[in-house]
Chain A
Amino acid sequence: MKPRIGVFVCHCGLNIAATVEVSEVVKAIKDYPGVVHAQDYIYMCSDPGQELVRKAIREKNLTGLVMSNCSPSLHERTFRNLAASEGLNPYLVEVANIREYCSWPHQGDKETATKKALTIIKATIERVKRNQALVPLIVPLQKRVLVLGGGVAGMQTALDIAEGGYPVTILEKEAYLGGRVRQLDRTFISLESAPDLVNEMIDRTLKQPNIEVLTTAQIENLSGYVGNFEVRIRQQIPWVDPDKCNGCEACITACPAEVPSAFDRGLVTRKAIDWTPGERSGDKSIFLDHQVCRRVTHQENCTACQEACKEGAIAYPEDRFIEQTYGAIVVATGHDLYRKSALTEYAEDPDVLDALQFERMLAEDGPTGGKVMRPSDGKVPKEVVFVQCAGSRDPDKHFPYCSKVCCMYTCKEARRYKEKVPDGQAYLFYIDIRSTGKGYEEFVKESVEKERLLYLKGKVSKIARQGDKLLVLGGDTITGVQVEIEADLVVLAMATVPNPGAKELARLLNINTDPYGFIQEAHPKLAPVETLTAGIYLAGTSQAPKDIPHTIYQAGGAASKILSLFSRKELVHEPLVARVDTEICAGCGYCRDNCAFQAVDVDPIRKKAVVNEALCEGCGACATACPSGAIQVKNLDSKQVFDMISIVTQDYSLQP
């Protein structure tokens, strides 16, 4: 069939018309081979403009449209929808961008601009001549969500999605839910109990019928794409049977493996088999931590606990693997604190704590029962120095970023200290006090006045053991004096860093991290809960340091994105994907090696490239890599590209 193409040239007010001689363009293109209709109008996207296009399609029986106007990112969709409603396949419509590519950069040079506009339009006509009518791809959508991490971010996202009616699996690498918040004492600014706050959330999570919680579990492998992620999960089966265990502690006594307790941040030790860390009071149970057990760490055949147990509650089964398909994944793997030893100017000393250690000391369920004491000798500390920005805002030696929460939690911790030790003195070294949440500034002011917190604007240059005391050297930049404090205890507000393993996890999920290992969002402003991989979302401190309220906002954002994804029956994917001509393909795999989306693979038996259309973004990297032109992107194949190049280079071609 002979092509019957319509060319529509838009003035865009004066945006195009002031620079491109529109009427000349129409005159010149009217008789171009294949064109049966050419027309200009002041605003082609307006209702009357669109009506002109509709009319032409109907009356002239057009087989393709070349819309010569602004960038395709603005109105390609408009005109493709228009074509579809007139019964013309939308993929037979292409935009010739004569605004951004022509009239704007060539203002004041009408001759050049008019000539160039004609070239762009002619090239697009040649492309449209070979365009095929395509139909969008339909991809099935598995409406089930995997949440990685069972902190407040993970639980909130799971709750929101589960309440929307979809099944969710939470994978938590530890034995307990709640993440860092479970380790805290109270929370700013309400000073409510952190365990109460998080336990209430854990209860709701465990009771929600649509949520499945897998503790001591991690993701092992991932393949697939949005709507259809194939996930392999590894879960450690508890080695202690809770139904048989009577809590006699015989196993704990027998176990030879004693390590610093991770939950209590090393303030006390625990056995490999011991009470479950972070559990809510009332449901205490024995937990055998595989990561610490000598059977795993030393590959020994230790059976001390099994032998000690009179109830026969202990066995050592192998890990189990679960395979499941998920439509969407949420990364909520949270944060950790930078290690104290990185700050070499500060002594490694039992009385120098990081802020989480101090939270454990303040917490009633902590190793001291909430009593503040010096770890070195158990005395109540009377002079406590808090150091803010420890490792943060230090581009030369540590991290350039602000950790966002430490100004607030340091104030909270100092205030809690003073409540417990009213005759003690709290000194807080700071650079600035960043209290930018609702009610935060008021909280700081109130704490300073009520508890006489002594804020000193400056940095601490040295912390050293000096007999019974810790010598703290610092500066107070407001009075300009050097400060020396003989402290009993020092608390470092260490920089927030991603949880260890975040980089490896990101690699496994094929998503990006920022230079510090936080998960990279798709766009800092407009897509803060998405990653660049469709179907993978993020929430909480895995993305950047933030407090609980902001974590909850982001969790809600991620959940609503997924609920909106799931509101569709199925997923629709652009049909502009790569296609392999199996008669030419030699199976060399260059296309596979060049695809950033892992969308091509070589069939090992047939030795032919195979495109996964659901993953293909139509970028064309494979087509440029293929030595024989066997793989081509639909509606932008090599013939079309060469036709367009011939038009563009017409003036330069060598005349014989």
Chain B
Amino acid sequence: MKIPYYPGCTLKTKAKDLEDSAIAAAKVLDIEMEELPRWNCCGTVYSLASDDLIHQVGSIRNLVRVKEQGANQVVTLCSMCYNTLKRANEFFLADEEKQDRINRYMDEEIDYTGDVAVVHLLEILRDEVGMEKIKAAVKKPLTGLKVSPYYGCMLLRPASIGIDNTERPTVMEDLLRALGAEVIDDPYKTECCGAYQTVNRKDVVVTCVHSILTSAQRNGAEVIALSCPLCDFNLDNRQKDILQTYKGFHPIPVLYFTQLMAIAFGLDESVCRFELSYNDPRPLLKSKGLIE
């Protein structure tokens, strides 16, 4: 199947590892992720934090691009993009007067009517591909790899747009199990990573991430799997700062779920772009015999 794909800014820069591994892994499952032409900023915190209509325009314009492709579904990878686009859609659908004003203002060829579904790749894997098919595509099962999934907030909250149960999500667990990994259940998997506090209150992020990582490690995790570039930055890069505050801390690699898919599907290691990780995951993966 072919589906328009909205990358967002980070996937073209810092999170190239997420994009490349996702596109390659999806292809194995016959999912063709076609980058949306002329996409623009998803809106990020601006569209979430303010009621002004103008802040929704950017988000909605992306959905118009989807319609221009003759499609009614768009897939995202970054949790933040998923959240903003889906919520912009919700905001738009809730009020006819606002719909009208946004459409007039945008002045696009196609009027938007709220009929594009925003989905996350995890949803497609669960609802359309199915875990059985994923299992069948595995060439190198992640046997013996102890992975702790981390959801953060953007995939699950608010409940109305969550891809899974807000408090007890299982989609990543099911996926990782299909890939053959040993799944570690970490109680902190839905706790906040500190998000944008990373810009001016590093200490807050250090405290949050330290709890998350040490809890996962206490439960036996060797690697964390996630889907959000911001979470990834906080959970991976901030380990350098954690080491300064918490002396006994042992670093742990952090990967996108798509990188683990790529490995399990036996794809070339280059699509994983491991060089972009702060904590190099390669020694661990090598020790498990998963990469050369």
Does A466 contact B167, Cβ atoms closer than 8 Å? Answer: no
Shortest CB distance B17–A (Å): 30
Give chain B residues whose Cβ lies under 8 Å from the Cβ of A347. 187
Known contacts A466-B215, A466-B219: A471-B187 contact under CB 8 Å: yes
B198 part of interface (Cβ distance < 8 Å): no
Contacts of B191 in A (CB 8 A): 462, 473
Per-residue CB contact flags for chain A residues 451-480 toward chain B (1 = under 8 Å, else 0) read: 000000000001011110001010000000
Contact of B168 with A by CB under 8 A? yes
Q: State how many angstroms separate the Cβ of B129 from the closest Cβ of chain A.
A: 26
Q: Which residues of B contact A462 (CB under 8 A)?
A: 167, 187, 191
Chain B residues with CB under 8 A of A344: 165-168
Give chain A nearest CB distance to B167 CB in angstroms.
4
A345 within 8 Å of B (CB atoms)? yes
| A-B contact list, 17 entries, CB within 8 Å | A344-B165, A344-B166, A344-B168, A345-B167, A345-B168, A462-B167, A462-B187, A462-B191, A464-B187, A465-B187, A466-B215, A466-B218, A466-B219, A467-B218, A467-B219, A473-B187, A484-B211
- A346 (CB) vs chain B CBs: closest residue: B167
Task: List the B residue with the shortest CB-CB distance to A461.
Answer: B191
Query: Roughly how many angstroms separate A344 CA and B219 CA in the complex, as a whole number?
Result: 21
Closest 8 CB pairs of A and B: A464-B187, A344-B167, A345-B167, A344-B168, A471-B187, A344-B165, A462-B187, A466-B187
Chain B residue contacts of A464, Cβ below 8 A: 185, 187
* Residue numbers in A under 8 Å from B187 (CB-CB): 347, 462, 464-466, 471, 473
- Bound together, the chains give a CA A340 to CA B166 distance in angstroms of 16
- Contacts A344-B167, A467-B218 supplied; 17 other A-B pairs, CB < 8 Å: A344-B165, A344-B166, A345-B167, A345-B168, A347-B187, A462-B167, A462-B187, A462-B191, A464-B185, A464-B187, A465-B185, A466-B187, A466-B218, A466-B219, A467-B219, A471-B187, A471-B215
Q: Within 8 Å CB of B218, what residues of A?
A: 466-467
Closest Cβ of chain A to B137, distance in Å, is 31
Most chain A CB within 10 A, of B168, B187, B211, B219, is at B187
CB distance from A485 to the nearest CB of B (A): 12
The complex places the Cα of A347 from the Cα of B218 at a distance, in Å, of 18
Q: How far is the CA of A473 from the CA of B187 in the complex (A)?
A: 10
Please measure, in the bound complex, the distance between the C-alpha atom of A345 and the C-alpha atom of B167, giving whole angstroms.
5
CB distance from B7 to the nearest CB of A (A): 33
* Residues 148-186 of chain B, each 1 if its beta carbon lies under 8 Å from chain A, else 0: 000000000000000001111000000000000000010
- Kindly supply a per-residue 1/0 record for chain B positions 218-260, scoring 1 wherever the CB is within 8 Å of any chain A CB and 0 otherwise: 1100000000000000000000000000000000000000000
Contact bitstring A397-424, B, C-beta under 8 A = 1, else 0: 0000000000000000000000000000
Within the assembled complex, what's the spacing in Å between the Cα atoms of A233 and B185? 51
Contacting B at CB under 8 A, from A478-517, are 484
Return the chain A residue nearest B169 by Cβ: A344
CA distance A86 to B167 in the complex (A): 76
Chain A residues touching B, majority SS: strand
Q: Which residues of B contact A484 (CB under 8 A)?
A: 211
How many pairs of residues, A versus B, come closer than 8 Å at their CB atoms?
A: 25
CA–CA, A473 and B191, complex, Å: 10
Closest chain B CB from A53 CB (angstroms)? 63
CA distance A347 to B219 in the complex (A): 16
Q: How many residues of B contact A (CB 8 A)?
A: 11
Least Cβ–Cβ distance between B168 and chain A, in angstroms: 5
Q: How far is the CA of A345 from the CA of B211 in the complex (A)?
A: 18
Q: How large is the interface on A (under 10, 10 to 19, 20 to 34, 35 or more residues)?
A: 10 to 19
| Minimum distance in angstroms from B16 CB to a CB of chain A | 34
In whole angstroms, how far apart are the Cα atoms of A471 and B212 in the complex?
Answer: 13
B245 to chain A, nearest CB (A): 17
A240-283 residues with Cβ-Cβ distance < 8 A to B are none
Complex Cα gap A464–B168 (Å): 11
Which residues of A are found within 8 Å of B167, using beta-carbon distances?
Answer: 344-345, 462
Q: How far is the CA of A484 from the CA of B214 in the complex (A)?
A: 14
Rounded to whole angstroms, the CA-CA distance of A67 and B185 in the bound complex is 80
Q: Which of A71-104 contact B (CB under 8 A)?
A: none
Q: How far is B190's CA from A347's CA once the two chains are assembled, in angstroms?
A: 14
CA distance A344 to B164 in the complex (A): 12
B167, B185, B218, B219 pick with most chain A CB within 10 angstroms: B167
Best-buried of A464, A467, A473 by chain B (most CB within 10 Å)? A464
Kindly provide the distance from the CB of B291 to the nearest chain A CB, expressed in whole angstroms: 31
A344 to B167, CA, bound (A): 6
A459 → chain B, closest Cβ, in Å?
Answer: 13
CB distance from B262 to the nearest CB of A (A): 30
A347 to B185, CA, bound (A): 11
Query: Given the complex, which residues of A lie within 8 Å of B165, measured CB to CB?
Result: 344
- C-alpha spacing A471/B185, complex, angstroms: 13
Q: Which residues of B contact A471 (CB under 8 A)?
A: 187, 215
Give the contacts of A305-361 with B (CB-CB under 8 A): 344-345, 347
Residue of A nearest to B168 (CB): A344
- Bound-state Cα–Cα, A464 to B211, Å: 14
Chain B: minimal CB distance from A310 (Å) = 51
Assembled-state Cα–Cα distance A583/B168 (Å): 69
Least CB distance, A398 to chain B, in whole angstroms: 13
Binary A-proximity of B192-210 (CB < 8 A = 1, otherwise 0): 0000000000000000000
Q: Which residues of A contact B215 (CB under 8 A)?
A: 466, 471
B168: which A residues are within 8 A, CB to CB?
344-345
**A402 CA to B286 CA, complexed, in Å:** 57
CA distance A218 to B219 in the complex (A): 51
Complex: how many Å from CA A484 to CA B211?
10
A466: chain B residues at CB < 8 Å are: 187, 215, 218-219
**In angstroms, how far is the closest chain A Cβ from the Cβ of B86?**
20
Chain A residues, Cβ within 8 Å of B211: 484
CA distance A347 to B167 in the complex (A): 10
In the bound complex, residues from chain B placing their C-beta under 8 Å from that of A465 are 185, 187
A639→B165 CA distance, assembly (Å): 64
**Shortest Cβ distance from B159 into chain A, in angstroms?**
8
Tell me which residues across on chain A come within 8 A of B219, comparing CB atoms: 466-467
Residue of B nearest to A344 (CB): B167
- Chain B positions within 8 Å of A467 at CB level: 218-219
Q: Closest CB-CB distance, A460 to chain B, in whole Å?
A: 12
Instruction: Give the residue name and chain of the A residue nearest to B211 (CB).
Output: A484
A464 vs B185: C-alpha distance when bound (angstroms): 9
0/1 string, B265-290, CB within 8 A of A gives 1: 00000000000000000000000000
> In the complex, how many angstroms separate the beta carbon of A272 from the nearest chain B beta carbon?
33
Q: Which residue of A lies closest to B159 (CB)?
A: A397
Chain A nearest Cβ from B231, distance in angstroms: 18
Bound Cα distance A467, B218 (Å): 8
Q: Which residue of A lies closest to B208 (CB)?
A: A482
Q: How far is the CA of A465 from the CA of B168 in the complex (A)?
A: 13
Shortest CB-to-CB span from B156 to chain A, Å, is 11
Quote the shortest CB–CB distance from B171 to chain A (angstroms). Answer: 15
Complex-state Cα separation, A344 to B211, whole angstroms:
21
- Residue in A closest to B187 when the chains form the complex, CB atoms: A464
* Alpha-carbon distance A484/B215, docked complex (angstroms): 12
Complex alpha-carbon distance, A464 and B191, angstroms: 12
- The docked-state distance in angstroms from the alpha carbon of A465 to that of B166 is 18
Closest CB of chain A to B79's CB: distance in Å?
Answer: 20
Query: For the complex, what is the distance from the CA of A471 to the CA of B211, rounded to whole Å?
Result: 12
Cα A364 to Cα B219 with chains together (Å): 37
Residues from chain A with Cβ under 8 Å of B166 in the complex: 344
Question: CA–CA, A347 to B168, complex, Å?
Answer: 9
By beta carbon, the residue of chain B nearest A470 is: B187
Q: How far is the CA of A471 from the CA of B214 in the complex (A)?
A: 13
B207 and chain A: residue at smallest CB distance: A482
B124 nearest CB across to chain A (Å): 24
A462 closest partner in B (C-beta): B187
Query: Which residues in window 95-121 of B have CB below 8 A to A?
Result: none
Q: In whole angstroms, how far apart are the Cα atoms of A473 and B168 in the complex?
A: 15
In the bound complex, how far is the Cα of B193 from the Cα of A276, in angstroms?
53
Minimum CB–CB distance from B194 to chain A (whole Å) comes to 13
Within the complex, what minimum Cβ distance (angstroms) separates A633 from chain B?
47
Distance (whole angstroms) from the CB of A6 to the closest CB of chain B: 63
CA distance A462 to B166 in the complex (A): 12
